[in-house]
């Protein structure tokens, strides 16, 4: 099942990445490579503190970090 999910995510045309609660990028598909220009080898394992400021406006970066911190504490994030 995990292999099938991996194949589906990799073949997805749009950007898809998965981030651990500690902020480490876990996956980076070919859609992300095409849209943002970095290979998976360049991004996977890096913290979102490196990635997000390069792809998001500052006000959204702060919100994303706040949401991640809340999720790590077990709090509900979002509406």
pLDDT digits over 1-30, tens only? Answer: 667 666 766 777 788 888 887 889 999 999
Write the burial class of residue 8 (CB in 10 Å: 0-12 exposed, 13-18 middle, 19+ buried). Answer: exposed
If you average pLDDT over residues 41-69, what whole number do you get? 90
> pLDDT, tens digit, for every residue of 41-51?
999 999 988 99
Phi, psi of 28 (to 5 degrees): -155, 110
pLDDT band (50, 70, 90) for residue 66: confident
- Residue-level pLDDT at 11: 72
- Would you report the helix, strand and coil content of the chain in percent, each value rounded to 5? 55, 10, 35
In this structure, are residues 64 and 71 in contact, taking their beta carbons and an 8 Å threshold?
no
pTM over cut 0.85: no
């Amino acid at each position: 099942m995990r292999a099938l999910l991996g194949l589906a995510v990799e073949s997805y045309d749009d950007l898809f990445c998965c981030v651990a609660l500690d902020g480490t990028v876990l996956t980076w598909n070919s859609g992300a490579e095409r849209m943002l220009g970095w290979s998976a080898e360049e991004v996977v394992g890096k913290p979102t503190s490196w990635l997000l400021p390069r792809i998001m406006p500052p006000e959204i970066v702060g919100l994303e970090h706040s949401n991640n911190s809340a999720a790590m504490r077990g709090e509900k994030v979002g509406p």
